[in-house]
């Protein structure tokens, strides 16, 4: 969803500005250029001010104007490719470990592409036909990109960017020219302007010097936007092809709050943007200084704010940011890149390690959510035209019940050695039918220690992840059978609006603030209240501080976000008047368009 200002009270009521370096300010005064304004979508919040650098990458199979070196022996070239692939695999593994949950998933997908036989077989064929490893890689990835871009199925068409990204990394390791070499080093206070960026481009940015990004295409849910948010770089996307007519060296402002790019802003606008950026920095500093205080509304309602975890690096965000435990632990890493499932003892050791970081707070573990889009070799899932609508999550686990039992057994053994305060919570993914909940609970009932931990010790809870519309519509049926509900708004919005959030042609439709999605959230919260159980939210929208009044007004009473967002979210919650929040939610549920809801959130500031 489009990102908004960290807190509505700080949203400006008129154009804003920041003072530029004196040389820039003198140049603006001397030439008196006409201010240009381009509207796009906010993808990463903040304000960036500086000089534009226009980035125009070459095609994936373009040599960049250089002649290819003579090819060596095919076996030698193949060994060069394999060595480069190993280096890329190690790089992607590192990136998956140091990123936040959403960024880690990007690089895990790229590792799957890297080892896919379709790519490697094409490279091998090109090498055998006489190409060197670098040219063969360019050729193979270029052909695959064009093939995927031409597919009518949008899921597979959207994978073209991921293939291009993997190709860039391979060419880079093979010593070839890659477009991202243009991105480092860059001058101080650079605003990077491009049609689009790949994850490879973004991770190779000179982060110390890039103050903002403006893209003609892309979406707020694309990989580039996710990475920009994790890096703290303001980004505006979908600004239109017109911005590609701008030139390197022009002075501009990236407004990641409102989704705008201003070029040659006037002095008053520039000064106001400086004021806005200063306010943002103060707000961030204040939030961080109070991060270990509980998130209490003025009405005295305490809202636990937890953290989403995918990697060890995410664990390091828990204590410094004041998170109250883990609201979502994704476990796919434990099961991928191995030839057999992890044993109960292996899983128990991993969960014990994770639990040690929770500071005596709860740990919510999502059961394995694997499928055709994230396969594991030992399961051999069937080929599916659309893996997102196929056998994944609980559907797959019920077909392989021993995997579910083993994972639950490890969590039950952990629950036998914790207190009710730092309890273990099992979260069931991809529920779409009441019968799936019943079948899962029946399997759990047969595991030794389950009843004792859940019903006597109070150290084990079971919940359902609401991420498809049918689950929200049926929540009142299975809420009485479980201990909590958790809403995954990323998938809920995607499935509700039939819009792939990584397909730039439709991704803007998949906003969690669409009235249809809000009504499903409200239904889920009503089911939770009726059953007397808490309802959490763990999607990206939960990390937007300005949306907290709406979320709390709808009835959500637990929040789980990326680690760095915890202080800002807690600070925003402390300002929420619950009566006003409920009125806001009631008004939002009467809206017919997402734009009306965005305006409501802006108006309360």
List pLDDT tens digits, range 30-48: 456 789 999 888 888 889 9
What are the residue numbers of the active site?
A: 223, 538
Considering the domain architecture, whether residues 154 and 203 belong to the same structural domain is answered as no
Is residue 186, in this structure, part of any structural domain at all? yes
> Over 60: is that where the pLDDT of 119 sits?
yes
CA torsion, ordered 385, 390, 392, 398, to nearest 10 deg: -140
Considering the domain architecture, whether residues 454 and 488 belong to the same structural domain is answered as no
Considering the domain architecture, whether residues 410 and 481 belong to the same structural domain is answered as no
The CATH number given to whatever domain includes residue 33 is 3.50.30.10
Is residue 312, in this structure, part of any structural domain at all? no
Is residue 589, in this structure, part of any structural domain at all? yes
Distance CA 450, CA 444 (A): 7
Mean pLDDT of 266-285: 89
Mean model confidence pLDDT for the chain: 85
Considering the domain architecture, whether residues 162 and 270 belong to the same structural domain is answered as no
553, 301 Cβ separation under 8 angstroms? no
Domain boundary among 263, 279, 295: 279
Highest mean pLDDT among 20-34, 88-102, 137-151, 494-508: 137-151
Domain count, the chain: 4
More confident residue, 275 or 390: 275
Is residue 3, in this structure, part of any structural domain at all? no
Considering the domain architecture, whether residues 473 and 458 belong to the same structural domain is answered as no
pLDDT tens track for 332-376: 888 877 889 999 999 999 999 999 999 889 999 999 998 655 667
Range of the domain at 363: 330-462
Domain boundary among 421, 439, 462: 462
Considering the domain architecture, whether residues 443 and 476 belong to the same structural domain is answered as no
Considering the domain architecture, whether residues 414 and 431 belong to the same structural domain is answered as yes
Q: Any binding-site annotation on 467?
A: yes
The strand order across the sheet containing 260-263 reads: 36-39, 260-263, 251-255, 47-54, 190-194, 210-215, 235-237, 41-44
Considering the domain architecture, whether residues 510 and 580 belong to the same structural domain is answered as yes
Q: Any binding-site annotation on 503?
A: no
Highest mean pLDDT among 117-131, 157-171, 177-191: 117-131
pLDDT tens track for 60-81: 444 444 445 556 789 999 999 9
CA distances in angstroms from 97 to 101, 408, 476, 478, listed in the order given: 9, 24, 38, 35
Q: For the stretch 82-117, what's the b/e string if a residue is b when 16 or more beta carbons lie within 10 angstroms of its beta carbon?
A: eebbeebbebbeebbeebbbbbbbbbbbbbbbbeee
Considering the domain architecture, whether residues 176 and 186 belong to the same structural domain is answered as no
* SS3 (DSSP) at 91: helix
Distance CA 496, CA 560 (A): 21
> Over 50: is that where the pLDDT of 153 sits?
no
> Over 50: is that where the pLDDT of 580 sits?
yes
Q: Any binding-site annotation on 366?
A: yes
pLDDT tens track for 393-428: 999 999 999 999 999 999 999 999 999 889 999 999
More confident residue, 447 or 490: 447
Q: At what angle do helices 22-31 and 267-289 cross, to 10 degrees?
A: 150
Burial class from Cβ neighbours inside 10 Å (0-12, 13-18, 19+) for residue 380 reads exposed
Mean pLDDT of 176-193: 74
Considering the domain architecture, whether residues 472 and 602 belong to the same structural domain is answered as yes
Mean pLDDT of 537-543: 89
Considering the domain architecture, whether residues 189 and 81 belong to the same structural domain is answered as no
What is the rounded radius of gyration, in angstroms, for the C-alpha atoms of the chain? 25
pLDDT of residue 588: 97
Distance CA 487, CA 556 (A): 9
Q: For the stretch 120-157, what's the b/e string if a residue is b when 16 or more beta carbons lie within 10 angstroms of its beta carbon?
A: bebbbebbeeebbbbbbbbbbbbbbbeebeeeeebbbb
Nearest CA to 452 among 460, 440, 464, 442? 460
Quickly list DSSP for 355-409: HTTSSS--EEEEPP--BTTB--TTT-PPP-S-GGGSS-THHHHHHSHHHHHHHHH
Alpha helix (H) residue ranges in 4-116: 22-31, 74-98, 101-114
Is residue 23, in this structure, part of any structural domain at all? yes
Q: For the stretch 559-589, what's the b/e string if a residue is b when 16 or more beta carbons lie within 10 angstroms of its beta carbon?
A: bbbbbbbbbbbbbbbbebeeeebeebbeebb
Is residue 310, in this structure, part of any structural domain at all? no
Q: Any binding-site annotation on 490?
A: yes
Considering the domain architecture, whether residues 336 and 479 belong to the same structural domain is answered as no
């Amino acid at each position: 969803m489009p990102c908004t200002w960290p807190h509505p009270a700080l949203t400006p009521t008129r154009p804003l500005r920041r003072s530029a370096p004196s040389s820039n300010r003198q140049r603006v005064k001397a030439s008196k250029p006409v201010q240009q304004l381009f509207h796009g979508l906010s993808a990463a919040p903040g304000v960036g001010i500086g000089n534009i650098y226009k980035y125009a990458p070459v095609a994936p199979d373009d040599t960049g104007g250089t002649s290819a070196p003579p090819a060596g022996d095919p076996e030698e070239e193949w060994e060069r490719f394999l060595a480069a692939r190993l280096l890329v695999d190690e790089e992607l593994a590192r990136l998956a470990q140091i990123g936040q949950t959403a960024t880690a998933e990007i690089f895990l997908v790229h590792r799957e592409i890297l080892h896919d036989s379709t790519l490697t077989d094409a490279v091998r064929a090109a090498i055998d036909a006489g190409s060197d490893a670098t040219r063969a890689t360019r050729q193979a990835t270029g052909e695959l990109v064009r093939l995927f871009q031409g597919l009518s199925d949008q899921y597979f068409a959207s994978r073209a960017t991921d293939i291009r990204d993997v190709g860039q990394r391979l060419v880079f390791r093979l010593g070839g020219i890659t477009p991202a070499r243009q991105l480092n080093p860059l001058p101080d206070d650079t605003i990077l302007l491009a049609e689009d960026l790949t994850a490879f481009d973004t991770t190779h940015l000179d982060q110390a010097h890039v103050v903002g990004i403006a893209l003609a295409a892309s979406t707020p849910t694309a990989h580039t936007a996710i990475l920009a948010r994790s890096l703290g770089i303001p980004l505006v996307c979908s600004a239109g092809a017109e911005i590609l007519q701008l030139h390197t060296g022009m002075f501009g402002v990236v407004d990641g709050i409102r989704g705008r790019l201003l070029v040659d802003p006037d002095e008053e606008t520039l000064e106001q943007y400086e004021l806005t950026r200063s306010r943002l920095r103060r707000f961030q500093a204040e939030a961080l200084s109070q991060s270990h205080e509980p998130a209490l509304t003025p009405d005295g309602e305490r809202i636990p704010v937890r953290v989403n975890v995918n990697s060890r690096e995410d664990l390091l965000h828990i204590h410094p940011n004041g998170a109250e435990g883990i609201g979502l632990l994704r476990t796919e890493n434990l099961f991928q890149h191995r030839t057999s499932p992890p044993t109960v003892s292996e899983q128990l050791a991993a969960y014990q390690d994770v639990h040690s970081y929770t500071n005596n707070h709860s740990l919510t573990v999502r059961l394995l959510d694997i499928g055709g889009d994230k396969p594991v070799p030992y399961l051999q899932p069937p080929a599916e035209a659309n893996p997102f609508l196929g056998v994944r999550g609980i559907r797959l686990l019920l077909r392989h019940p021993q995997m579910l039992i083993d994972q639950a057994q490890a969590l039950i053994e952990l629950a036998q050695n914790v207190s009710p305060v730092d309890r273990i919570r099992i979260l069931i993914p991809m529920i779409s039918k009441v019968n799936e909940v019943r079948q899962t609970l029946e399997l759990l009932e047969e595991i030794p220690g389950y009843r004792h931990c859940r019903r006597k010790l109070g150290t084990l809870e079971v919940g359902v992840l609401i991420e498809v519309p049918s689950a929200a519509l049926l929540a009142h049926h299975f809420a009485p059978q479980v201990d909590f509900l958790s809403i995954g708004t990323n998938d809920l919005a995607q499935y509700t609006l039939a819009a792939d959030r990584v397909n730039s042609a439709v991704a803007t439709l998949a906003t969690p603030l669409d009235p249809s999605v809000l009504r499903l959230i409200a239904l889920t919260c009503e089911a939770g209240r009726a059953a007397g159980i808490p309802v959490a939210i763990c999607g990206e929208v939960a990390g937007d501080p300005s949306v907290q009044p709406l979320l709390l007004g709808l009835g959500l009473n637990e929040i789980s976000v990326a680690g760095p967002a915890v202080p800002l979210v807690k600070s925003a919650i402390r300002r929420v008047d619950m009566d006003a929040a409920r009125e806001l939610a009631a008004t939002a549920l009467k809206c017919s368009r997402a734009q009306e809801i965005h305006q409501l959130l802006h108006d309360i500031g």
